[in-house]
Amino acid sequence: MDEDFVGVFDSGVGGISILKKLTDLLPREDFLFYGDSANAPYGEKSEEEVRALSMDIIDRLVSRGAKAVVIACNTATSAVAQQAREKYPYVPIVGVEPAVKPAAMKLTHKKVLVMATPQTLAREKYKNLASRFEEQASLIPLACPGLASRIERGDLGGEDLHQMLYDLLSPYVGQVDGVVLGCTHYPFVKPQIRKVLGDIPFFDGGEGTARQLRRRLTEEGFLTDRTTPGWVIFDSSIKTEQEIVLYERMFSLAGDC
């Protein structure tokens, strides 16, 4: 592997929704995606556990030669981004956060449901973000325990998934004007969420993260000068062929996210 790739990681398949946006915007860059599916879900672990797991992955990506790291997980970003930037000041480290800002800008004085993991919503980082925009829009946080794990299984058509979304979301039908998908797993079930909540606007951090990566690589002079398409490689803490096949399938589905 040459030492000019961008390392991207998540607790599992969710980060693949971000990876797709990165490869769309930066098709000539090389990407190594690492999913920590053996330890998913992060959103129901303590902050210390998520920080230790995430820092270990960042250490390994940097030692394999990553020129930049994208933390494609809202939960891990709140737990580790700041420390990782202090530890590796020479490596651009880009995180994701719930897309509250674009939602509040677009839906001024309206009601916005913010779906995320229990850990993301409990962190100081989210509270600060929400307080910056609470005048702009009425934000309704909704912790969704179990949803990322269910998506992690990959079978997205099951009746049990529809029932889980119905149980979580039916109190908000007709009550909200837009939805923030504050966990990178959730864009994979956007059609299923829309089935319950109807045709309202959705916001996620994918495109903003891709623009931020391009900005940071440009600032550091790290953009590739290659003119041919880059590669995308998948790796996982579940060391089976099927897991990599699942990641590749999710990457092809991510085009519709």
Amino acid at 163: Q
d(CA 172, CA 210): 30
What is the pattern of x (binds ligand DGL, CB under 6 A) and - over residues 219-248? Answer: ------------------------------
Q: Which is nearer to ligand DGL, 67 or 112 (CB)?
A: 112
Interface with ligand DGL (CB under 6 A), residue from 23, 184, 192, 209 = 184
Among 53, 73, 99, 129, binds ligand DGL (CB under 6 A): 73
Q: Is 73 a residue of the active site?
A: yes
What angle (nearest 5°) sits at the alpha carbon of residue 153, between those of residues 152 and 157? Answer: 110
Report in angstroms how near the CB of residue 231 gets to ligand DGL at its nearest: 23
The residue from 40, 61, 69, 73 that is catalytic is 73
Judged by CB under 6 A, which of 5, 11, 51, 232 binds ligand DGL?
A: 11
Q: Give the C-alpha separation, 150 to 250, whole Å.
A: 14
The bridge status of strand 138-143 relative to strand 232-236 is unpaired
Question: In this structure, what token pair is assigned to residue 44?
Answer: 């129901």
Euclidean distance between CA atoms 257 and 84, whole angstroms: 29
Minimal distance, residue 21 CB to ligand DGL, in Å:
14
Binding mask 118-157 for ligand DGL (x = CB under 6 A): --x---------------------------x---------
Q: In whole angstroms, what is the distance from residue 251 CA to residue 34 CA?
A: 13
Return the number of other C-beta atoms located less than 10 Å from residue 159's C-beta. 7
The pairing of strands 30-35 and 232-236 is parallel
Give the residue with the Cβ less far from ligand DGL, 74 or 192: 74
CA angle 120, 200, 134 (to 5 degrees): 45
Q: At residue 223, what are phi and psi to the nearest 5 degrees?
A: -65, 140
Instruction: Choose, from 50, 147, 183, 193, the residue flagged as catalytic.
Output: 183
As measured in angstroms, the least distance from the Cβ of 221 to ligand DGL is 30
Residue 63 CB, nearest approach to ligand DGL (Å)? 24
Among 68, 183, 232, 250, binds ligand DGL (CB under 6 A): 183
Q: Which DSSP category does 109 fall into?
A: T
Catalytic residues: 73, 183
Residues that bind ligand DGL (CB under 6 A): 10-12, 14, 40-43, 73-75, 117, 120, 148, 183-185
